[in-house]
Structure 1
């Protein structure tokens, strides 16, 4: 049955018990409950309303699935019988926990005769009990992204065909989106004894250009992390990542990132950031043509 309104919050509260493994769907449920996005339609099982089985879909055949490890049989039965999914279409499953991927493969083959492809990623998660203090620097400011900052981030993203620039501009007005901006007017050394005050971070002027950026996306994870080439290895990616992390914690989200197994720079970054650790595996899954 479809979940709306308070049902989204109730479902989020239930699967919160499974963190970190439910991190993406937990955040997405909160985003929709709070009215910050409306990309997905959520479903839970009418006959098993206390289960943690969740299916959510978009108009573009993008599908999310979640269940606990001991519920995979229930999920398999659901996928075989639900009229919500058209297995003859180009379904695309995202952020799928590793123990669910074989179920998708089995059901796809039995119903449509099609094999799957999958791209695995490591999910790094943040321990919200860690109070990270982000030290300010004299040469830069840390701000919420302004219009130009969001535009730069969007244009540098390899997968921007999945969303319009206007959509991500609106998204970044509602969700944590952070940039590091050069501060040529500031003089003197940074105050190493202080920390960036999350309550006093302001939005950058729309025309200002960031040297590093990141945001929380409507897929629930932190992403789109980038730095201009001439400013690499200066610690700016760490600054934006940790600032965005603490803003997510402040707003009640569960910070996590999905890192491709071939993305060595991001693996090194999050392996060394305070409070972060690799937690579990997910995959992007699609159906091959016959």
Structure 2
């Protein structure tokens, strides 16, 4: 539509430039930065990205999932919130009559988003403020040691299918999208092995597991650039495998130019304790997620 206020970004070079432009706004821009970079590199293709058409000197970015509208993510600098809200009032890219989610918004958008939602939605809107944990390689100098009878690899096909089946939001994403993204270094799996001795792990030299091999633990990037989908099979818990997977994955992301970070909901004490105890990780702020027309859980 000619009167649409947001202009679609049509090439990867522009996505890359946008990701670089918002780096100075960390930690508030980390999720959008990673999401832009994943799509610029061709690792993911789940989202479309838009800029505010009439204001090319701003850093206002609108992203929505392709196909049926399930999620919208937004970024702008704190001084541009009012300008973004005016754009959201006019855009036809959001269907307010359908349930969807605002995900990973900077917390300084809270009042503007609340006012916008209240003006557009009659019914349920679920606001939550997960903690944002950020990783810094400079604070993580310890060697990565893998115990005997364990190996760390990128997930093969069976491991990806295990991850998809265990993910609480798998109804929103077809497993084939997971399989496509898994062709790139966007996950880490832990596997049982015959190796008798401990050995050192180099995160950037991981091999890919066989497609018929079953993993016992894993972690991966979500399509929004956050560290997520962390899971350990019940029979292998309390062995430090999730911790191992996270430490390897943190270094892998940092080497690829991504910014390792994770969102931890208020009720998730176990994840909060885990990230708080990991070398290089610390809580830096909160973020905003909103369920429109339904609950986030």
Contact 2:100-2:293 at 8 Å conserved across structures = no
1:226-274 Cα deviation digits (max 9, x unpaired): 0111221211111101111111111111111111111111111100000
Contact 2:218-2:229 at 8 Å conserved across structures = yes
Which of 3, 17, 33 is the equivalent residue of 2:40? Answer: 33
Segments of 5+ residues of structure 1 without an aligned counterpart are none
Q: Structure 2: how far apart are the matches of 1:85 and 1:275?
A: 38
Contact 1:105-1:115 at 8 Å conserved across structures = no
Q: 1:73-222 counterparts in 2 under 5 A?
A: 73-113=82-122, 116-132=125-141, 133-183=143-193, 185-187=194-196, 189-191=197-199, 195-222=200-227
Root-mean-square deviation (CA, aligned residues, Å) is 1.8
1:53-87 Cα deviation digits (max 9, x unpaired): 11111232221111122221111211122232233
Matched, 1:2 2:14: no
1:196-225 Cα deviation digits (max 9, x unpaired): 122431111222222111111211111110
Matched, 1:280 2:285: yes
State the Cα distance separating 1:128 from its structure 2 match: 3.5
- May I ask how many residue pairs the two structures share in their alignment? 284
| 1:219–1:175 Cα change, 3 Å | farther
The alignment's TM-score, normalised by the length of structure 2, stands at: 0.89
| 1:80–1:199 Cα change, 3 Å | closer
Which of 48, 73, 77 is the equivalent residue of 1:64? Answer: 73
The alignment's TM-score, normalised by the length of structure 1, stands at: 0.91
State the Cα distance separating 1:161 from its structure 2 match: 0.5
Tell me, what secondary structure is at the counterpart of 1:174?
Answer: coil
